[in-house]
């Protein structure tokens, strides 16, 4: 079977990694890249470097990856949908959920594969976590908490930390728990002199009843990417920066101190650090995109799911503007 002809729109700090992998995965041929800003990382190599999405389509592509700034996602994706090109758009799907809905509907109406690059779904630690939760290893899940913090990325200029990083945490939480959000509240801070927030704390509840907490900022000198899932049998800790997964089991030994034993909580039990294969998440995501285009099932974020993620983030920002008021999420299911 002939390889899928791929085009890449955007060859900046994220696009260069897409280019590297698209060149390397079986069944895909990267035939052209396009970026009106040129090729700062010199990823084009021997293939055409084009100026815009229209020229990319004219190169005869079957699939496309959109890795340009967020404010241009919707326009580019709609153009690719009109041309009948299966497309993976880097997260978030669009600058706002209204535009995201338009994009999602366009791909669905044309019977095209439309996916969004919520790459954390392909992090090996989260893949293992989701499987173990589905198998009941934690029992009933009570809470999912995430921490995602690092220094400010100079390349991000058109959105705040909620849409750039927070979308990762919202999507991975709903995906791991297999439940959408029903409500959210938030507080934000503006400390770096920009019009967009650089810190957000979100508290929510999933439709399944699970409580969620997300602490996200661009104001930390250390990088942290942690997801904690607490259930009736213990707590999973997934470090998505390293791909490690650990389980802290509830203890089975009775507490000996009389003053402590009256507390009907849990005690410390065994700690297990799991060993498993660790594939590069972006490679796994692009292979899943290829497979989806070929008609195979995948765990890619659909555009409908990505719109829900954006709706949750927008609701969180609405809450923050209104002193942390609880905001109900309109759609209860994908």
Q: Specify the number of domains making up the chain.
A: 2
Is 305 part of a structural domain of the chain? no
The enclosing domain of 320 has a CATH number of 3.30.360.10
Does residue 268 sit in the same domain as residue 289?
A: no
Does residue 144 sit in the same domain as residue 57?
A: no
Does residue 240 sit in the same domain as residue 128?
A: yes
Is 334 part of a structural domain of the chain? no
Does residue 92 sit in the same domain as residue 200?
A: no
Burial 258-274 (b: 16+ CB within 10 A, else e): eeeeeeeeeeeeeeeee
Is 304 part of a structural domain of the chain? no
pLDDT tens-digit profile of 46-76? 999 999 999 999 999 999 999 999 999 999 9
Q: Across the chain, what does the average pLDDT equal?
A: 94
Predicted local distance difference test score (pLDDT) of residue 332: 43
Does residue 53 sit in the same domain as residue 164?
A: no
Residues in the chain: 334
Does residue 224 sit in the same domain as residue 256?
A: yes
Does residue 169 sit in the same domain as residue 274?
A: yes
Predicted local distance difference test score (pLDDT) of residue 257: 54
Nearest to 60 by CA among 25, 85, 26: 85
The enclosing domain of 18 has a CATH number of 3.40.50.720
Is 226 part of a structural domain of the chain? yes
pTM: 0.93
What ranges make up the beta strands (E) of the chain? 4-9, 28-34, 49-50, 63-66, 86-90, 114-117, 141-149, 181-189, 199-206, 211-217, 224-231, 234-239, 244-250, 268-273, 301-302, 327-328
Does residue 155 sit in the same domain as residue 105?
A: no
Q: Which segments in the chain show pLDDT lower than 70?
A: 1, 155, 253-264, 331-334
Does residue 97 sit in the same domain as residue 165?
A: no
Range of the domain at 105: 4-120+283-299
């Amino acid at each position: 079977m002939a390889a899928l002809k791929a085009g890449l729109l955007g060859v900046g700090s994220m696009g260069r990694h897409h280019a590297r992998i698209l060149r390397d995965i079986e069944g895909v041929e990267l035939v052209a890249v396009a970026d009106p800003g040129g090729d700062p990382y010199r990823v084009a190599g021997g293939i055409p470097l084009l100026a815009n999405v229209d020229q990319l389509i004219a190169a005869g592509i079957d699939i496309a990856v959109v890795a340009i700034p967020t404010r241009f996602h919707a326009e580019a994706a709609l153009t690719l949908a009109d041309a009948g090109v299966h497309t993976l758009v880097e997260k978030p799907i669009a600058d706002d959920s209204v535009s995201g809905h338009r994009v999602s509907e366009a791909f669905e109406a044309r019977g095209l594969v439309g996916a969004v690059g919520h790459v954390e779904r392909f992090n090996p630690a989260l893949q293992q976590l989701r499987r173990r939760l589905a198998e009941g290893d934690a029992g009933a899940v009570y809470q999912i908490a995430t921490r995602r913090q690092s220094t400010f990325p100079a390349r991000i200029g058109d959105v705040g930390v909620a849409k750039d990083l927070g979308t990762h945490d919202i999507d991975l939480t709903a995906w791991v728990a297999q439940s959408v959000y029903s409500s959210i509240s938030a507080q934000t801070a503006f400390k770096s002199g920009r019009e967009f927030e650089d810190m957000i704390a979100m508290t929510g509840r999933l439709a399944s009843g699970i409580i969620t907490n997300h602490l996200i900022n661009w104001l930390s000198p250390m990088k942290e990417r942690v997801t904690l899932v607490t259930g009736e049998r213990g707590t999973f800790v997934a470090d998505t920066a390293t791909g490690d997964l650990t389980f802290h089991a509830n203890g089975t030994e009775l507490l000996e101190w009389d003053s402590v034993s009256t507390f009907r909580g849990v005690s410390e039990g065994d700690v297990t650090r799991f060993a498993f294969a660790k594939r590069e998440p972006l490679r796994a995501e692009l292979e899943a995109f290829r497979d989806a285009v070929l008609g195979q099932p995948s765990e890619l974020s659909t555009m409908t799911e990505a719109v829900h993620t954006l709706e949750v983030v927008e609701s969180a920002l609405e809450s923050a503007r209104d002193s942390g008021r609880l905001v109900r999420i309109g759609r209860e299911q994908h």
